[in-house]
Structure 1
Amino acid sequence: MEKKLEKKWYAVYTKPRWEKKIDTVLVRKGIESWCPLQKVERQWTDRKKIIEEPLFKSYVFVYIDDTERSKVLMTDGALNFVYYLGKPAVIKEDEINNIKAYLSEKDAKISIISDQGFSSGDLIKVNYGVFMDKEGTVIRGGKKKVYVELQSLGQVMIVEFPAVFLTSK
């Protein structure tokens, strides 16, 4: 009996500003790929414009089994998988689903920062929305912003919440 290979989510490190191109090419190759985008207002000298830009700079997520790794790496602009403890980092499906669900909410706003150099603050619990029952760390005087850590990427999302959505732990 042939063993069915299990598909998992992985992060692929890309050339700068190639995220959308690589996502499109991977989909054309038959690989399930996701480049999370958020709408951002940009100011030019003569006008303002809403554009969609990648949420994670230089990252695209792929849902593949082990046999599809080389197909991903042979894509122009894909540099390598993100590694954790010497192996390609597996991204938890619930982390992917939480980001997808949050980005689908009206006026969703996420900022990405590194987890380097931050000391922990008050622990809180979210009481509303797709991050309901998630715990986070309050920052910058904060009743508005909460850390939600994606450990497998070594990154932290700052998600803005109204203070009434949060309680102290």
Structure 2
Amino acid sequence: MSWYAVYTRSRFEDKVYTLLAQKSIETFLPKIEVWSRRKDRKKRIMIPMFSGYLFVDFPDLTREEHVNVLKTPGVVRILSKPHIIEPAPIPDAQIEAIRRLIYSKVEIETCLYPKVGEKARIIDGPFKGIEGIVMRTDYIKNLFVVSIDLLMRSVAIKLEGFQVEKI
């Protein structure tokens, strides 16, 4: 099987999922249960695990199938590698790992990594609580360089992904 990530318009994941299923396209929309705060109460709701994304399965993605998916209302594009037009397949092992996570019923919280130029807060280590600007990232090594102001000087600190959060 070859899975592909489909990027949708904001909050269109369920609609796109339904429309693709009506076209007999095997689709996977992983959802997680989270607490939602309403004006007067808290409530558990199901939301997409990856906001704006769902997955489609094609043994061999042809041009016609590609166009068929793109013509679906709410679909923006099928993800590809940078500077490459062909959609990038997602390994079955990654899809299977997502399925196991979803069905395990463990509490899952998705986190957004900060990008270069964005503000970040250090949440672990000796600089916990300090805010700064992300100067450099290395997603493969899970490293971030965050610039912080100390004594009227800017200092860059190398941090691991679990030590920073986007603010």
Task: Please confirm whether the aligned pair reaches a TM-score higher than 0.5, indicating the same fold.
Answer: yes
Instruction: Could you tell me which runs of 5 or more consecutive residues in structure 2 were left unpaired when the two chains were aligned.
Output: 116-135, 144-159
Provide the identity percentage. 32
Output the CA distance in 2 between the equivalents of 1:31 and 1:108.
29
Corresponding residue number in structure 2 for 1:66: 61
Aligned length in residues: 121
Aligned CA RMSD, in angstroms, stands at 2.3
Q: State whether structure 2 residue 136 is matched by structure 1 residue 139.
A: no
1:9–1:63: 8 Å Cα contact kept in structure 2?
Answer: yes
Corresponding residue number in structure 2 for 1:83: 80
2:113–2:161: 8 Å Cα contact kept in structure 1?
Answer: no
Q: TM-score, normalised by structure 2?
A: 0.64
Corresponding residue number in structure 2 for 1:10: 4
Output the CA distance in 2 between the equivalents of 1:29 and 1:57.
22
Matches within 5 A, 1:117-156: 117-118=136-137, 120=141, 139-140=162-163
Give the secondary-structure state (helix, strand or coil) at the position aligned to 1:13: strand
Output the CA distance in 2 between the equivalents of 1:106 and 1:19.
21
Instruction: Could you tell me which runs of 5 or more consecutive residues in structure 1 were left unpaired when the two chains were aligned.
Output: 1-6, 123-136, 142-169
Alpha-carbon shift at residue 19 of structure 1 (Å)? 0.7
